[in-house]
């Protein structure tokens, strides 16, 4: 490319000299010679601008997202998060799942290798849809560079032919409402690593239904937190807590009662029966949380909570 550009520029100079050579000879005044030189310089300047533009286009790499949202969805493009969860796709081998991503995100060549071009396309995709890692108190910096479960969920929403799945969530609180020390104890549900707003789950038994893409994950969180010093503490030292979780009328997780002084104590005694599909935990930010790991069908979730709470919670 550079050789061609140089040869083209040299040709223009030679032609210019040849073309204007005769007028040079006939020019009788300095003014005439200056006008001829100015014409030649103008031609050369135009060519320089054109060459600079071509060179800039050659050296500039831009990552774009191929807009195929209007294309027909297919089972070919239904990706399973289980494949991506342990980063096995970074092993340098050819993977059909990476090919599917490359095809839809406009990566060339489509060779199934996860390299810099594919990572750049993933980052652009994540930024476009607001997908990043889970934010925790000690790491507030947003990272868009990885394939997250939210990335796969959004990809499936756009290109996979599977329907959105219905997650029905019902909360029952015992007692229905406390007297004395009362806290909001709000419960919310959201799709993990997804640009979506949390949905509030009321404590009065009214069900909430959220629709999620294939292979997404849903986190249900209760703002439990420990009782501050000086307030009446319940048997668990928590303002409120998730006591039992049922999926399709089957017990899948429960909390063991007892005095818990630290977050790791609560987490240790938050038991998950079905670890394949769910995870029950307590994080340092004071959230008692239940996760549906990899959604591939509808769910009917019932959550029993305990502790003192206000009518708002």
pLDDT above 70 (res 91): yes
pTM over 0.85: no
Q: How many Cα atoms sit within 13 Å of 185 on the Cβ side?
A: 32
pLDDT above 90 (res 129): yes
**Average pLDDT, integer, range 249-259:** 89
| Of 27 and 295, more confident | 295
Taking the chain, what is the end-to-end CA distance rounded to the nearest angstrom? 68
**Considering the chain, what is the average pLDDT of its residues?**
81
Distance, CA of 231 to CA of 236 (rounded, Å): 13
The dihedral of CA 127, 130, 133, 137: what is its sign? positive
| Of 157 and 12, more confident | 157
Q: Which residues contact 48 (CB under 8 A, 6 or more apart)?
A: 9
Question: Over the Cα atoms of the chain, what is R_g?
Answer: 32
**Average pLDDT, integer, range 274-290:** 92
| pLDDT tens track for 171-230 | 988 765 555 555 668 899 999 988 777 999 998 899 999 999 999 999 999 988 766 554
């Amino acid at each position: 490319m550079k050789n061609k550009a140089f040869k083209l520029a040299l040709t223009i100079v030679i032609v210019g000299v040849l073309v204007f050579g005769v007028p040079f000879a006939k020019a009788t005044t300095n003014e005439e010679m200056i006008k001829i030189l100015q014409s030649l310089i103008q031609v050369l300047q135009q060519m320089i601008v054109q060459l600079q533009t071509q060179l800039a286009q050659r050296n500039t790499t831009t990552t774009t997202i191929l807009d195929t949202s209007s294309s027909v969805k297919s089972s070919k493009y239904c990706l399973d998060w289980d494949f991506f969860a342990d980063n096995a796709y970074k092993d340098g081998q050819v993977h059909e799942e990476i090919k599917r991503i490359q095809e839809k995100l406009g990566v060339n060549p489509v060779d199934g290798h996860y390299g810099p071009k594919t990572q750049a396309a993933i980052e652009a995709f994540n930024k476009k849809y607001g997908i990043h890692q889970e934010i925790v108190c000690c790491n507030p910096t947003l990272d868009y560079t990885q394939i997250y479960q939210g990335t796969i969920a959004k990809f499936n929403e756009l290109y996979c032919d599977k329907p959105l799945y219905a997650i029905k969530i019902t909360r029952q609180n015992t007692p229905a409402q406390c007297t004395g020390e009362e806290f909001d104890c709000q419960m919310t549900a959201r799709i993990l690593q997804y640009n979506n707003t949390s949905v509030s789950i009321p404590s009065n038994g009214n069900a909430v239904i959220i629709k999620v893409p294939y292979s997404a994950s849903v986190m249900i969180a209760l703002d439990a937190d420990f009782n501050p010093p000086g307030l009446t503490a319940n048997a668990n030292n928590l303002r409120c807590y998730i006591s039992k979780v049922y999926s399709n009328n089957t017990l899948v997780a429960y909390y063991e009662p007892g005095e818990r002084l630290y977050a790791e104590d609560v987490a240790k005694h938050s038991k998950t029966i079905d670890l394949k599909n769910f995870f029950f935990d307590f994080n340092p930010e004071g959230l008692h949380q239940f996760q549906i790991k990899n959604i591939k069908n509808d769910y009917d979730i019932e959550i029993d909570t305990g502790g003192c709470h206000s009518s708002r919670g």
